[in-house]
Amino acid sequence: MAKVVIDEARCKGCALCTLACPKKLIRMSDKLNRQGFLPAVFPAECSRDCTSCALCAQMCPDVAITVFRAEKGEKP
Amino acid sequence: MAKVVIDEARCKGCALCTLACPKKLIRMSDKLNRQGFLPAVFPAECSRDCTSCALCAQMCPDVAITVFRAEKGEKP
Amino acid sequence: MQPVFQRPISLKDVATHFCPGCQHGLIHRLVADAMDHFGVQPQTIGVASVGCSVFLYEYFDIDVVEAPHGRAPAVATGVKRARPDNFVFTYQGDGDLAAIGTSEIIHAANRGELFTAIFVNNTTYGMTGGQMAPTSLPGQRTLTSPEGRDVTIDGYPMRMAEVIAALDGAAYSVRVAVNSPKNILAAAKAIKTAFSYQIEKKGFAFVEVLSACPTNWGMSAVQANERVAKEMIPYFALGTFKEKN
Amino acid sequence: MQPVFQRPISLKDVATHFCPGCQHGLIHRLVADAMDHFGVQPQTIGVASVGCSVFLYEYFDIDVVEAPHGRAPAVATGVKRARPDNFVFTYQGDGDLAAIGTSEIIHAANRGELFTAIFVNNTTYGMTGGQMAPTSLPGQRTLTSPEGRDVTIDGYPMRMAEVIAALDGAAYSVRVAVNSPKNILAAAKAIKTAFSYQIEKKGFAFVEVLSACPTNWGMSAVQANERVAKEMIPYFALGTFKEKN
Amino acid sequence: MSERQLVAGNIAVAMGALAAGCRYYFGYPITPQSDIPAYMAGELRKMGGTFIQAESEIASINMLLGASACGFRAMTSSSSPGISLKQEGISYMAGSELPGLIVNICRSGPGLGGIDPSQADYFQAVKTGGHGGYRTVVVAPASVQEMYDLTILAFDLSDRYRMPAVLLADSLVGQMKEALECKPYVPPSDLPAKAWAVTGKQGRKDQRIVKSLFLGEGELERHNWKLWGRAEELKAKEQRSEGKYLDDAQLLVTGFGSAARIAKSAVEMARTAGLKVGYLRPITLFPFPEVAFQQATATCKKVLCVELSTGQMVEDVRLSVARDAEVVFYGRPPGTGSLPTPEELFGQIHKHYGKGA
Amino acid sequence: MSERQLVAGNIAVAMGALAAGCRYYFGYPITPQSDIPAYMAGELRKMGGTFIQAESEIASINMLLGASACGFRAMTSSSSPGISLKQEGISYMAGSELPGLIVNICRSGPGLGGIDPSQADYFQAVKTGGHGGYRTVVVAPASVQEMYDLTILAFDLSDRYRMPAVLLADSLVGQMKEALECKPYVPPSDLPAKAWAVTGKQGRKDQRIVKSLFLGEGELERHNWKLWGRAEELKAKEQRSEGKYLDDAQLLVTGFGSAARIAKSAVEMARTAGLKVGYLRPITLFPFPEVAFQQATATCKKVLCVELSTGQMVEDVRLSVARDAEVVFYGRPPGTGSLPTPEELFGQIHKHYGKGA
Amino acid sequence: MTHDVFMTGFGGQGILVIGNLLAYAGIIDGKNVSYYPSYGVEKRGGAANCTVVVSDEEVGSPVIGAPSAGIILNQASFDRHIGRFKPGAFCLLNSSLVAEGAKRRDDLDILRLPLNEMAQELGDARMLNMIAIGVYVANCRPVAFDSLKEALKKVLPERNHRFIPLNVKAIDLGAAQVK
Amino acid sequence: MTHDVFMTGFGGQGILVIGNLLAYAGIIDGKNVSYYPSYGVEKRGGAANCTVVVSDEEVGSPVIGAPSAGIILNQASFDRHIGRFKPGAFCLLNSSLVAEGAKRRDDLDILRLPLNEMAQELGDARMLNMIAIGVYVANCRPVAFDSLKEALKKVLPERNHRFIPLNVKAIDLGAAQVK
Ligand SMILES: Cc1ncc(C[n+]2csc(CCOP(=O)(O)OP(=O)(O)O)c2C)c(N)n1
Ligand SMILES: Cc1ncc(C[n+]2csc(CCOP(=O)(O)OP(=O)(O)O)c2C)c(N)n1
Ligand code: SF4
Ligand code: SF4
Ligand code: SF4
Ligand code: SF4
Ligand code: SF4
Ligand code: SF4
Ligand SMILES: [Mg+2]
Ligand SMILES: [Mg+2]
């Protein structure tokens, strides 16, 4: 149970994060962002499956991803 | 039986040839040459002992030495 | 929720000018991470080179000196000798370090200068639009090798981590890549080790990082990242070539 | 009587300006011998460098181009590319080749340029009066290392034959000395082998020759010659570091 | 008439070089001249010539020295910082009496600066940035056609006077496209043979030695006077400039290359507005067209010099004009957004027209 | 008064630098300035300073850039070909507003040339041989004492105006020995603090960035005008020259450094012979002492400029004198046996005295 | 007679292609021409501009302070450059991306067309630039239409010559917008 | 009052040492001085010259076209330089090595001394230069003898100070040659 936040304004749509996620939780949007890129999105429903391994964030060249983990006992 | 000719005008008196001769046939002069150096000399009497190995000439930085060997049957 | 991955504080919170999928950004992050790790950011002086990474000062929250093309190791020598208690690093591309700056990096390494050199090898001159670099692979098509690099005319790709390792003055020399999470973690570790060589005054440390330049390779970011594994790593072996104690 | 040792015809019959016991003269003779041996003198273009050997054209009976300090390999590249059927060699000192000209020799070697490089290592800047060279030995006192070379500040002596051997483009790299008849004969052979690499288009060939500079070492010629054996050879191992077929 | 093509200035330089028989190119990447090596990389290897991307600008200029010593037409191109690095090599070429073409598509400076069109390398080119006192031919094209034509001229002058030639332009002329007519090159019939070129002795009696070291008593001084004499001959014979509206001009506008190009439009505006403004553009910067300036300022006593710098050529203008002529300066040192417009220069003409002198 | 020692000019430069607080020396061997690094190697390491014999002149100038960026007084020295190689670095230092001392003990050229005293690097120093349009302080000592004093002045001006300084001399002044009095250095009290120097942020809010890249709209142009403004201020405040016999002079003899030194004896000979000859020697070459020339040529209408070259400073003399003054030139380009004697220059004075203008 | 036009947009919109095309058409018409490009610092996606001059006389400055015509393809370019045009200049605005806003200029002869949508309708979003050049040429007549179409062969790389008919269609569509 | 002297010989004869010595003596005397050395190209054994000026006024040129005194220690130097001296100049010729020959100059005040032999007799061949400077100073009186001897401490390296008495003896021997 974890949360991945992708800063849409920073994302350049390179899709490298999608390769990195072992669970294939991240996908590319089909709507251009302000910079003219198709950004990556982390669908809210994926929170469940996300292990907060942060491999997606490790891989992002633009440091556009922040990863959060539920603290012990925290509600989903 | 061989002859070693040292070009006095070229010799800079470094004495390296004296080190090279396995027979120690070359010695340094005590008279300055025109350039102001004490040149190496090959005493005529050494012809007998010289093997014409040319190591002295090999060693000379100033290519001041020429070595001759008696041809077969040549008189000393 | 507790953050498990966050932007390093040494890295300014701004967008970069790098192309999508360009791994300069990632390498910047790893360098900033290492700075945070050792807490050296307040003492750090970065030496920028000329190439796509010229804007070091826009992204790192540190003092920076900009060096002429290829001369970062000489500038860093001047900086480190003048301020031996500061933490000093250089950041150079392959055109910068392995072509015009060959002499400077070799002699700085050989003198055992106490700065850390980050070397980003993307097999091309990124900033000038994709010319052949000293590290371009055999057959690689670039602006100035339109038929592909011909090793009999253009020479062979230079393996800088090995060249540096061979110098007596170099204490640490390593080659890493950032094309997969696994390699990224190894790269992060190598950069930290390199930093420790300076901090512990163990000697000159050199980190070569294989990096993608999707734009000049004429590839998508994903394809470019794949090329690192398929073409670069086989030629530029990953590994530690020197690790003095 | 029959001459068994004579001046090579490629070497002009004039006195040199070299100091007594300076082995530049000897190395000149070996190069001229090799030229005679292969009969290439009529096609030869020599590239002179800046150092005590700058007067190449006074001693060799060949066409000569004089290069700026350190740049002989670049000049030779231009010459050989323009006249591929000529025989081209460079002749450089250790200041020239291993300091200011580091980049040029490394990249010429790496491109596999088809000229022959003669490198005279006498651990000092001869012509300028005896400053510390990249090859000066640890502790060696020179004009600019009055207390002796301190490797922690001045860096380590560079072993160029090994550095060159490590480059993919280099075909032949060897280190020889001329301090004894035996070594001289080996040096003569190495220079001929290096020439054959060019003649047979086998690739770039590099010959490092250890040499004495009595004047700047502050020694007699005999002492200087002894230093080669006692101090230089132990640091700069003689041998063949690369020999491609 | 050969076909007119739409060609960028940088490419026109490369085409001109090939037309002039140059088959040796040595360079190192730098913006904004990268089109030249890219074009040369493709064409030269196709035609059996030599293209080398060297490890540095220093290596390039010395490869050029080597190829030129062999008697062949050869060139390098770069931009400002790269040209600074070539200064030692250029001095050696000059000292060794070697021809060869050095193209500088200037960028803005000093230091890393930027890549905008600049004319701040005038001093470096014309006063020569290397050591020891020498001169080189310097040409300054103002159109794509001139990028081609002056490349050829530079090779010819360089060979004839045995000194390096510099083509000084910037990204305005370099990246601009215009119609280019590639006139076929006919080598001047009186170009002297290169009897000094190294070839290997090949049985020749005398050695050929290409060098710049002269230690004999009085030798280097004589050598310097010889080089000086060539430069004087060049000055006497090869000054080139373009003039317009000089007869009745009351204000003369001058500048070279891209600045002149923009200034020319301003002069046309002024004429349209009824102002008697003349135009004089140096085509050769060395030799500087002193005679043309002398003549023009025999009657027109005020000169406005426009440069994309804080003022360099203006010194040569001052040294060339009639003693009683006044020279004023308008400069836009280069940088993003700093290119002057014709309208702006027309404003300057207005400001100075009819006043003083 | 401190003791007078017999000291060579080159050593006086090194002593002056140490007196001025310079503790960082970066250089590469070259004749005829090798005394400077040799002296520095001994002294600096003794006093805990930094002496590095770099791998090249290019590395040296960039090490200087690095040390200077840290806010310390630092220097390099070389001779002509080596100075050519530093041109890119000097341009970067100027663009980055960095002080620092570059000593050029000129040798003869062009190319490898020789090691005789030369003044043929005037253009390179004064018009600046690097790219992009910038200026540096240029001082030209004519005695051993001045080698010391002007080294100190160069550091002060360089710091104050935030631009590199060049000390231009040759082996005549460099190898000559004279009595030197080492006056202790008192730093000008109004020298601005180096609030731009990199130190690591150390908790400071703003980054310090030493750079010459400016890409913002209009930014680089403003930067250039700022540098230009500093040079103008320098021109207004720091012109220095030495004059003698100017009041009644009918012929003015000028030159800098070693040529002036020789010319001065010729002027004395002329005065002894009853000729009304004056003497004016620029001490700063940039800023050029325009005012002094203007004033001197208000009355004296003929100027003889003597240089150890085919003529370079003479252009600045022409640009500086009154419009109706005539400037003639006598040059001895350098080389073995080419140093003019006072007697020879006296001959030139005779030739021009009382004629023309 | 001299025509000048300033075209501005971002990289990828094909500004430089139609600049080249227009210039080449001028050559075919026997005119003097100049084409001067300028870019932003970014490697990808940055600003792309060019100025084209077509003239019976020698072309003076390739840089025009106050252009007499314009093609403006996106908002950023509009904001940055709209102030420069000469009063009365003809300007084509790509209304798909340009909202005008504060910087309205009522003294210009402005034509607003939704070029993105028009190109999409034509079947190829990339044809936006060709529509634009059609509009401009139809309005200002700097070159003959035949020359413009002829120039396609010179300007497009060989491999794209199969798209020439579509390009021609787009040019014609543009021309048809001008009464 | 201004004295100038041109000293010439080959490397190893100690020309530069006595040049320095004379200049230092001038400083001790409170004069203005200049010392200007020049060498041949050779590393070892080449020509070595210097010019020393000692003056009550500021020293102008350290290079003198026609010197007013000379010390000439070998043949090559004689041949090359003898023509330069001012008529009437005092010249010390080392007759051990100089044969004069074709270039005789009868307009000079020449003193011939076999310096090599004199030095040998004194017990040290290297003292030749000191004898020479003694002769010159005794003849032309540019500096006080005490200053000259005092200057030995400044000019000789510390490790050679033990030879000062011998040097003084050589200077005195030189001086004694001048009546
Ligand atoms: C002296 C000099 N030569 C050339 C250039 C042009 N230049 C700018 S960046 C660069 C190289 C870029 O390649 P690299 O170092 O590999 O960095 P990348 O952009 O690929 O990260 C070059 C040649 C320059 N600025 N200065
Ligand atoms: C650009 C430049 N820098 C420096 C010099 C001065 N210089 C002349 S020869 C030389 C080096 C001599 O040493 P080396 O190459 O080892 O040759 P050696 O004399 O010992 O044979 C140097 C530094 C120069 N001529 N040009
Ligand atoms: S944190 Fe891990 S599991 Fe979650 S999205 Fe990122 S890579 Fe996938
Ligand atoms: S890796 Fe980063 S920049 Fe790339 S798509 Fe994912 S979030 Fe966006
Ligand atoms: S030839 Fe041989 S034996 Fe004869 S002198 Fe020479 S070294 Fe000695
Ligand atoms: S080696 Fe040659 S130069 Fe040396 S002493 Fe012998 S002969 Fe003379
Ligand atoms: S050009 Fe290449 S190296 Fe430069 S930012 Fe773009 S992808 Fe990165
Ligand atoms: S100085 Fe040294 S290298 Fe030069 S000639 Fe003399 S001994 Fe040989
Ligand atoms: Mg790169
Ligand atoms: Mg050496």
For atom 4 of ligand 1, the residue with the nearest CA is: E30
Asked if the peptide bond before residue F32 counts as cis, ω within 30 degrees of 0, the response is yes
Across residues E266-295, what is the average pLDDT? 98
CA D14 to chain centre: 21
| Distance (Å, whole) CA H134 – CA H141 | 10
Question: Largest Cα–Cα distance of chain C, in whole Å?
Answer: 59
Amino acid at E104: N
Query: What pLDDT sits at residue C72?
Result: 98
Average pLDDT, chain A: 92
Query: What pLDDT sits at residue H46?
Result: 74
Amino acid at F43: E
Query: What pLDDT sits at residue F355?
Result: 74
Q: With contact defined as beta carbons under 8 Å apart, do F157 and F135 qualify?
A: no
Query: What pLDDT sits at residue E356?
Result: 58
Query: What pLDDT sits at residue E349?
Result: 98
Residue G129 pLDDT exceeds 80 = yes
Which ligand 6 atom lies nearest to the CA of residue B12? 3
Give tens-digit pLDDT for D91-150. Answer: 999 999 999 999 999 999 999 999 999 999 999 999 999 999 999 999 999 999 999 999
Q: Compute the nearest-CA separation of D19 from chain H (Å).
A: 6
Please list every residue in chain D whose beta carbon sits closer than 8 Å to the beta carbon of residue C153.
111
CATH entry 3.30.70.20 includes domain A3-68: yes
What Å distances lie between residue E143 and B16, D135, E12, G58, CA to CA?
Answer: 68, 52, 10, 11
What Å distances lie between residue H33 and D23, F5, F172, F265, H135, CA to CA?
Answer: 42, 11, 15, 14, 20
The DSSP bridge partners found for residue C196 are none
| Nearest residue of chain E to residue G81 (CA atoms) | E337
CATH entry 1.25.40.10 includes domain C24-243: no
Structural domain spans, chain E:
4-190, 241-352
Answer with the residue of higher pLDDT: C61 or H46. C61
Query: What pLDDT sits at residue G18?
Result: 97
- Say whether E241-352 and E4-190 share the same fold: yes
| Distance (Å, whole) CA E100 – CA E63 | 11
Residue G131 pLDDT exceeds 70 = yes
Structural domain spans, chain D:
24-243
Average pLDDT, chain C: 97
| Distance (Å, whole) CA F168 – CA F77 | 10
Q: Report chain F (357 residues): mean pLDDT per 10 consecutive residues.
A: 87 98 98 97 96 98 98 98 98 98 98 96 98 98 98 98 98 97 95 97 97 96 98 98 98 98 97 98 98 98 98 98 97 95 97 79
Percent residues over pLDDT 70 in chain C: 100
Q: Compute the nearest-CA separation of D234 from chain E (Å).
A: 33
Average pLDDT, chain G: 93
| Distance (Å, whole) CA H99 – CA H79 | 10
Residue G82 pLDDT exceeds 50 = yes
C65 CB within 6 A, ligand 1: no
Give tens-digit pLDDT for E179-220. Answer: 999 999 999 999 999 999 999 999 999 999 999 999 999 999
How many residues would you count in chain E?
357
Burial H11-40 (b: 16+ CB within 10 A, else e): bebbbbbbbbbbbbbbbbbebbbbbbbbbb
DSSP-derived letter for residue E341 is P
Average pLDDT, chain E: 97
Question: Residues lining ligand 9 (ion), CB within 5 A?
Answer: C 93-94, 122, 126
CB contact under 8 A, E87 and F118: no
Domains annotated on chain G, with CATH: 2-175 (3.40.920.10)
Across residues E228-233, what is the average pLDDT? 98
Ligand 10 geometric centre to CA of D216 (Å): 10
Query: What pLDDT sits at residue H40?
Result: 66
| Distance (Å, whole) CA E217 – CA C169 | 46
Query: What pLDDT sits at residue E1?
Result: 44
For atom 4 of ligand 2, the residue with the nearest CA is: F30
Query: What pLDDT sits at residue E3?
Result: 85
CB contact under 8 A, H44 and D52: no
D214 CB within 6 A, ligand 8: yes
| Nearest residue of chain F to residue E316 (CA atoms) | F315
Query: What pLDDT sits at residue A76?
Result: 52
Percent residues over pLDDT 90 in chain H: 86
Q: Among E248-257, G128-137, H51-60, H91-100, whose mean pLDDT is lowest?
A: H91-100
Across residues G39-59, what is the average pLDDT? 83
| Distance (Å, whole) CA D222 – CA D230 | 12
Across residues D155-175, what is the average pLDDT? 97
Across residues H21-43, what is the average pLDDT? 89
Sheet holding C2-5, edge to edge: A2-6, A65-69, C2-5
Q: Compute the nearest-CA separation of E229 from chain F (Å).
A: 10
Q: Compute the nearest-CA separation of D151 from chain F (Å).
A: 12
Answer with the residue of higher pLDDT: G103 or F271. F271
Q: With contact defined as beta carbons under 8 Å apart, do F13 and F147 qualify?
A: yes
| Distance (Å, whole) CA C120 – CA C117 | 10
Query: What ipTM goes with this model?
Result: 0.97
A62 CB within 6 A, ligand 4: yes
Q: F4-190 maps to which CATH number?
A: 3.40.50.970
CA F333 to chain centre: 19
Query: What pLDDT sits at residue F1?
Result: 43
Supply C196's token pair.
Answer: 């420790």
Query: Per-residue DSSP letters for chain D?
Result: -EEEE---TTB-SS---PPTT-THHHHHHHHHHHHHHHT-GGGEEEEE-SSTTTTHHHHBSSEEEEPPTT-HHHHHHHHHHH-TTSEEEEEEEHHIIIIITHHHHHHHHHHT-SSEEEEEE-SEETTTT-EE-TTPPTT--BTTBTT---HHHH-PPP-HHHHHHTSTTEEEEEEEE-SSHHHHHHHHHHHHHHHHHHHTT--EEEEEEE---HHHHT--HHHHHHHIIIIIHHHS--EEEEE--
Please list every residue in chain D whose beta carbon sits closer than 8 Å to the beta carbon of residue H41.
17
Give tens-digit pLDDT for A29-38. Answer: 988 887 778 9
CB contact under 8 A, H10 and B35: no
CB contact under 8 A, F31 and D129: yes
pLDDT band at G42 (very low <50, low <70, confident <90, very high): low
List all residues 6 or more positions away from F354 whose beta carbon is below 8 Å from its beta carbon. Answer: F250, F251
Mutate to test the pocket of ligand 7, among C22, C27, C119, C211 (most ligand atoms within 8 A of CB): C22
Is the full-model pTM beyond 0.95?
Answer: yes
Across residues H57-77, what is the average pLDDT? 95
Question: If residue C175 lies in a helix (H) or strand (E), which one and from where to where?
Answer: strand C170-177
Q: F241-352 maps to which CATH number?
A: 3.40.50.920
Q: With contact defined as beta carbons under 8 Å apart, do D142 and D95 qualify?
A: no
Q: Which of E60, E84, E97, E131 to mutate to test the interface with F (most CBs of F within 10 A)?
A: E131
Sheet holding E137-139, edge to edge: E50-53, E24-27, E74-78, E101-106, E165-170, E137-139, E284-286
pLDDT band at G39 (very low <50, low <70, confident <90, very high): confident
Please list every residue in chain E whose beta carbon sits closer than 8 Å to the beta carbon of residue C70.
56
Residue E2 pLDDT exceeds 90 = no
